[in-house]
């Protein structure tokens, strides 16, 4: 009985359709774990880079000096906050070079540039998140399909037997249930990871939005001081 219910034995004895379902679910599970680890290290790196740039930003250095350094670093990568800051500052200086005198137009241009960069950064950190959601929601149903098919196959094989006992029914049903187990094995880590990453991405988004507001306020104060300065 123990040999009959061995997992490997059940998989090899399952019907071709159920074996295909199991193979697909195992491949999906492998892809899901690859995404989970890549996302885990990627979000950790984003948080670390943002914290480093924030400390540098609030260190008291001039915005112009910081922008000059950030422009060089952004070409090689840089933190999301750094890229947002560079985009806003670049647009601000570009409008100043065009001798745009309206402070509202200057701020709106910088905000639009930062908002566009913010959206690009969110697209990057949210990449593959939908894949985890799909795996978490679809895998149990794929496994259930394999189970239903396996049970149908098992009962159709019993139709030729004159006497049916638990010993003849159990192996076929057990083979079918392995598909559901593999589906749950693929889905549960994906759901847990999705919820964790969604929470982390929300925090990163709040951090980026807060920085954009703070930098906009700094630009507004600088424009106010320039307008109030004697000519």
**Position 106 in a domain:** yes
**Res 76 pLDDT > 50:** yes
Q: How far is CA 95 from the centre of its chain?
A: 35
Q: What's the token pair of residue 77?
A: 């990568």
> By residue range, what is the domain housing residue 85?
7-228
147, burial (CB in 10 Å: exposed 0-12, middle 13-18, buried 19+): buried
**Position 208 in a domain:** yes
pLDDT per residue as tens digits for the range 132-156: 999 999 999 998 888 888 777 777 7
**Position 2 in a domain:** no
**Res 3 pLDDT > 50:** no
Structure confidence at residue 162 (pLDDT) = 59
| Whole-number Å distance between alpha carbons of 75 and 126 | 22
144, burial (CB in 10 Å: exposed 0-12, middle 13-18, buried 19+): middle
Percent of the chain past pLDDT 70, that is, above it, reads: 83
| Whole-number Å distance between alpha carbons of 152 and 38 | 40
- Yes or no: say if 201 and 127 are a contact pair by the CB < 8 Å rule: no
Structure confidence at residue 104 (pLDDT) = 84
**Res 4 pLDDT > 50:** no
pLDDT per residue as tens digits for the range 182-225: 899 999 999 999 999 999 999 999 999 999 999 999 888 877 66
Contact residues for 229 (Cβ-Cβ < 8 A; gap 6+): none
Query: How many domains does the structure of the chain reveal?
Result: 1
**pTM of the predicted protein model:** 0.81
Mean pLDDT value across the chain: 84
**Position 37 in a domain:** yes
**Position 121 in a domain:** yes
**Position 212 in a domain:** yes
**Position 49 in a domain:** yes
**Position 1 in a domain:** no
């Amino acid at each position: 009985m123990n040999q009959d219910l061995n997992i490997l034995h059940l998989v090899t004895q399952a019907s071709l359709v159920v074996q295909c379902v199991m193979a697909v679910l195992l491949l999906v599970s492998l892809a899901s774990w690859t995404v989970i680890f890549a996302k885990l290290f990627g979000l950790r790196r984003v948080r670390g880079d943002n914290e480093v740039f924030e400390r540098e930003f609030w260190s008291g250095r001039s915005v112009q000096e910081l922008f000059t350094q950030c422009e060089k670093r952004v070409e090689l990568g840089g933190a999301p906050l750094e890229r947002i800051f560079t985009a806003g500052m670049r647009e601000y200086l570009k409008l100043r070079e065009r001798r745009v005198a309206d402070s509202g137009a200057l701020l709106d241009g910088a905000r639009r540039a930062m908002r566009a960069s913010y959206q690009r950064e969110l697209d990057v950190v949210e990449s593959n998140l939908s894949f985890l959601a799909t795996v978490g929601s679809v895998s149990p149903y794929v496994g259930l399909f394999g189970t239903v098919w396996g049970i149908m196959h098992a009962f159709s094989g019993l139709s030729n037997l004159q006497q049916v006992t638990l010993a003849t029914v159990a192996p076929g049903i057990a083979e079918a249930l392995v598909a559901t187990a593999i589906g749950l094995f693929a889905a549960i880590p994906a759901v847990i990871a999705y919820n964790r990453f969604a929470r982390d991405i929300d925090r990163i988004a709040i951090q980026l939005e807060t920085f954009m507001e703070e930098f906009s306020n700094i630009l507004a104060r600088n424009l106010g001081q320039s307008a109030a300065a004697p000519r």
